[in-house]
Each structure stands twice: as C-alpha cells, then as structure tokens.
Structure 1
C-alpha cells in the first residue's frame, strides 16, 4: 500500500508481544492531559502552568507531524457530554465520516478514517470485546483539547475511541490493557502508519469534596513507573482503587499501553495544579538516548507513591441513582445548550422555575458551589462542569455588556 508519507523517516517499529511483525507501524504515541481549563483559561488559574501543559501538547504535535501518520487513534473519554444517561457504553468506536468535538462555544471537526475504524471494530468484536459504535457522536473536551493543541489544523484523519471512566460500573485497567492488545492485533496486516493519543489523567477529583486535594504523589509514581517501562502494578489495580486516588482517567493510558507494549515513557511535562495533576508522557518515537533504558537509577518512590488502598467500593464517582435523573438532566443541558446556559447566567431563578424540578433539586441549584448539588444526587462531574460553564457564560455576558456600554 502506497501512503502519502512514503518519504517520511522510518521510526522504530513497535509490536506488542505475541503480535505479528506485519502489523501497522505505531509511529508516535503519548498520554496527555485534556483539562477544560486548557481551553477556557480562567483568569483565576495558574496560567503559567497551563501554558507549560499546552506547550508540551504542541511539542508532541510537532513530533507527531514529523512521524507523518496515516491516522491518529485518539483514546478519550466521556464526561457525560456525548452519551448522557440514556446509554452508558463501556467502549465506543466512532465510525462516522467526520466527528465534531466541542466545549462551550469552541468546536473543531476532524475527518474520521472510517476504513480503519470499521475494520478494527469488527476484528475487536470477533476477538471478544463487545464494542459499541456510533455514527453520530458529538465528542467533548477530552477530544477537543488534543484536536486543538496536538493535531491543530492538520488534515490527518482520526479514529476516536471512548472509554467509560466516570459512571460505574467502569472497566478495569487490565480490561483496558487487553483491549489495547486486541486493537494491536486488529491492526496486524494493515499497512498504515498509526499515531496514538491517550487523552486523560492524572489525579483529580472534579466536583467532589476532594477537588482541591489531588494525589500528586501517586502521579509521580505513575510517571516513575512509565519511565521505567513497568506497568504491571498499574494494570493490576481495580476501578475502585483508581476512584480512591482520582485516577480513573488512566484507563485511557491502559489502552495505549496495550497497543504499544512495554515501551518506557518520557515525561514532557508535569504540572502540579491545586486541583489537578497535568501530565504529558511520550512513548513513541523514542529519543536516540533512550535506546537502552537502565532501571533503578536514582531514589525511587514507594509503590503507589506511598498510598495504601482502603476502599472496598466507589467513594467519589458512584452509580448515579435514577431518582436524581431530572437534576442530572438539567445540569447536562446547562453544559451542552448555550441558550439555556446564558439564560441561567442572566436570570437563574427564572431558569430554575422553568425547569419544573422538585423543590430539593431547585434549592440545591440556588446554593453556591457544587456540594449541595452532589448531596442532592447530581453526578460530581455534572455539578462542577455546569457551575464552571455558567460562570464562564456570566463572565462573557458581563464583558459584552461592558463593551456595549462603552460604545454607547
């Protein structure tokens, strides 16, 4: 098969143990933060740290462009922006001809490599994974962030894959790792050059009482282990373990690890934010000085960064009870509907009254912050995200009104 990148420099070939050497080349791979603050850049954030995160994403984007892939597999997740509670699939392949990713007013469209997407879908299902597929999914900021900062205006097609990470029951790290291996097997025999982006992580607890207390030590342990090419302890964790340390988004990393095999990762950026550990780790291509990796150099962090797991069930992202569906539905609408969001920002009481919610839900909406919403049954992600986007809408409306007043 002739590709438009026939003159590209040859990268190191990577195969997962047990896969044939005829598989498609994985020419670039990285795991990367996708925090919405990278897109909205609120004034109260540490903007210098956000800049370092986006600079690392752009740097990997330049590396990816030099590798000249035929398609980019983007492994992201759903923050209840895509499927909502009418259906919660575990894994979903997007096989539409194009896809759109959005966050508030920001939108980007990318062409989907449907031939690869459909072929992998069929083969992975035959290999024992019951993937969902969608020809109409609208993706959220887990995809918009890498689309903007990594892929930019590139016309390289994408293959979007969603992993459920916030709505229990969620898959285990090992199941995600095995899915990655199955994807690698599905790519065997194809001639394309493939790049992989795992969009997610690191430790954060959006919308919960631990929002301002991420587990940075666990993050640094993950960075240490990936640098050493050691993934077994991470793969052996349970979904409940990940919930306890705010790391459920590492499930996208686990899929990537299954695809690329035991390849050490190189840290491009780690930013210790007050509410989030923001990491960018590149696995492929490897730098020339990484040809031989020596383990055990320097002082190593203890296993799990010293954390001792105690939970037997989910603490922070629990199963959303059906009785709270009306509240969760309204919060979801605030996130995805610009008109309703603006109406709420202008006149919250009128918007709450028009929603016709039960008194306890309406009262929770009137209280500041997101704690009351979570106590009333809101999913923490919806509680936090809805508050964030309404505040951003209010700021935008106030600026517009100020500008109009100045012109008058």
Structure 2
C-alpha cells in the first residue's frame, strides 16, 4: 500500500520569494532554511511523489468558479508569483487514481488540466523541492472565498485520499502549504494572533488535534488561521503524529511556521510552550465572538469590476507595468466609479477593501506594484 514517508506543514509567504528590503530578512532566512531542511528529509526518504496541499489566493481560478477542493492533473504544472516561476512534473498516474478513488467515496473533488498555480505552490517548489526531480500532485483548498470548508471536512478529505491510495505501491510525501495567523489585506494586517499560533504549536507537539478540528470556518476567520485547513488535510493523510517545530518566526504581519510530522524528529520537545516554558492556555487565551465572517467575506457580485482590475495588476505583467509607470492614466482608463478610482489612487488598500475589493487582491496588487517600483528605481 502507499506509504506516507514524509509530511510537513510549511509557510509560503510571498516575501520569501520577493525578499523586499522592508521585511525582517533574518526571519525570512530562518523560514527558508527550515523549508530547505525538510527538502533534505526528502533526500533521505526518497518519495515517488509529493502531494502538495496548497491554497488559491485568487490566482488560479478567480471568480468564474470557486471550487472547494481541486486536484491538478496535467503532465506538468507551473507555479508563478510576479517574475518568479517554476515548472514541475505531475505524477498523473497517482493523481488520476486519487481522483477516482476519492469520488467513489462520495467526496466531490474538482479537477483541472489547465491551472496555473500561485505562490502557495511556488514557495515549496522553490525552497523544499528545488531542483529535485520528484513529481508532484497539486491539491488546492479554498480558504479565502466563503463559504469555506470546515477543519473536520478537510481532515475527512485527507482520510479519503489515504483510503483511495491504499492499494498503491508508491512512497508519498505530503506538504501542507499554509501559513499561521495573518490577516492579509485587512485592517488587522499588522495584528497577527501569535498566542493562538503558540497554542496550535503546543497541541501539535502533543499530538492533540480534536480541538483544532472542532473549530468552525468563522472561528478561523476571527484569528487569521484559515490556511490551517491545508494542515487538516495533511493530518487526515498522515495520521495524528505529533509535530516537531523546525521554525516559527513572528513577523509584523504573519506567523511563519514550519512543522515536520513524518518522520519524527529525534529529541524534539516542547515546541509549543510559551516563552516562559509554561503551558499556553486554550486558544492562546482567545475568546471567540464572531458569528459570521468579518475579515474574508463573501465577495458581492457588484464588486466584480474592481476585483477584476486588481487581479489584472497581479497576473498581467504588461498591465502591472503600465499601472506602475502611470497610475493616473491607468486609473482613468479603468471604467470604474469615482469612489473606486479615488481608492486606487490612494496609498494602502483599506479603502479598496471597504468598497468590496477582496483583501487578498487589494494587498497583492499593492505588494506587486511596490516591488515593480522598487526594481525600476
């Protein structure tokens, strides 16, 4: 039967790729070093394929379709972020078997043979896999366009995948590409919940997952942890093995975590304890209050033109270049309303989000334009 020979959860922040000068570069280095360390685990465990469970930052499917879970089944796949790109072979034989097996178990799984992946895949391709010629199986989880699946549902998908591959002879590695607490593009962008991260790491070290799996999608929205859904899929696949911390970095806007689950790391202990060595309280001391999504809401159809404009900035190099070179002209030609044009001309992205822009698009557009201007100067 297929054997899970390696499994890890890993940060994929775009700053790890672009390395802007205004970030804490030493912390970025520690994150990429931890990713590279798991890459060396692949050298030791020799997987036949790597299942990369990532997310879509509205780079792949956009708003023409929002599947909850999507398997990419093409001979090759490409992951991109601005000027950074990597292609990887896809293990189509295993991927097709996985698709058929999961659907036969009454789990509706979408698939694509023509999907360009974003930085949630590019980062592990770059820093974990690098130039290793190991085929991949990309799986996307919707974490930012409500309604999103629950942790329990994602765990169940992992179990269904494990069952679907039970008859296979391959050695499989799993990378759950998902960050810890952060609120990209929202008013809370600079307020990650590090205490909640520490609680997650503590529970992970102890192999305790029921309270994590019992969280609701709205709970995850409240603490900036929706990307943990990729971890939940991985847990369903790899079992409830304790995790060993390879790195945790507190950046001003993001908790960067890299945790190895399989194989066990000899001598690992206490990865989730607080700075003083004491037990971290449940949920890091947080009390949940939200009864609906606040930070990542359902995108209302009337906001589509603004969101489409922002996505073009992110995904079309020529359009992005023209916007960066002459913002007033690009905004004047946008066809958007006066309020949207005024928000596009302003610094930052808060007003864009207030007008209905998806926070990820607003932030990503701001980031890539800032990087474009930096390169040009």
Under TM normalisation by the shorter chain, which class is it? over 0.9
Root-mean-square deviation (CA, aligned residues, Å) is 1.5
Distance in 2 (CA, whole Å) between partners of 1:287 and 1:353 is: 56
1:369 aligns with 2:348: yes
Say whether residues 1:336 and 2:304 are aligned partners.
Answer: no
* 1:396 and 2:375 are equivalent in the alignment: yes
Match of 2:46 in 1: 68
Is 1:86 the counterpart of 2:61 in the alignment? no
- What does residue 315 of structure 1 align with? 294
Moved more, 317-326 or 346-355: 346-355
* 1:64 shift after superposition: 1.4
Matches of 1:218 and 1:328 in 2, distance apart? 31
User: 1:326 aligns to what?
Assistant: 305
SS of aligned partner of 1:241: helix
Other-structure match for 1:145:
123
In the TM superposition, residue 289 of structure 1 has moved relative to its aligned partner by: 4.0
1:296, 1:315 → 2: CA distance? 30
| Cα displacement (A) at 1:262 | 1.3
The match for 1:268 is: 246
Deviations 1:56-75 (A, max 9, x none): 00011011121110000000
Unpaired segments ≥5 residues, structure 2 = none
- Residues 216-255 of structure 1 show CA distances to partners (whole Å, capped at 9, x for unaligned) of 0000000000100000000000000000000000000000
1:200 matched residue in structure 2 = 178
Query: Are 2:35 and 1:57 aligned?
Result: yes
Q: Does 1:126 align with 2:101?
A: no
**TM-aligned CA deviation for residue 288 of structure 1:** 4.0
- Equivalent residue number for residue 175 of structure 1: 153
Indicate the structure (1 or 2) with the bigger Cα radius of gyration.
1
Aligned to 1:360: 339
Deviation at 1:363, TM superposition (A): 1.3
Aligned to 1:384: 363
* Number of equivalences: 374
Is 2:241 the counterpart of 1:280?
Answer: no
SS of the residue corresponding to residue 355 of structure 1 reads coil
* Corresponding residue SS for 1:258: helix
- Contact 2:202–2:273 (Cα < 8 Å) also in 1: no
Q: How does 1:184-199 map to 2 (within 5 A)?
A: 184-199=162-177
| Alignment partners' CA distance in 2, 1:45 and 1:299 | 30
Instruction: Identify if the C-alpha distance between structure 1 residues 296 and 391 changes in structure 2 by more than 3 Å, giving closer, same or farther.
Output: closer
Could you list the structure 1 runs, at least 4 aligned residues long, displaced by more than 2 angstroms after superposition: 287-290, 295-299
Deviations along 1:255-276, whole A, 9 cap, x unmatched? 0000111100000000011100
Deviation string for 1:287-329 (max 9, x for gaps)? 3446x99x99963111111111010000100001100100000
- Counterpart of 1:25? 3
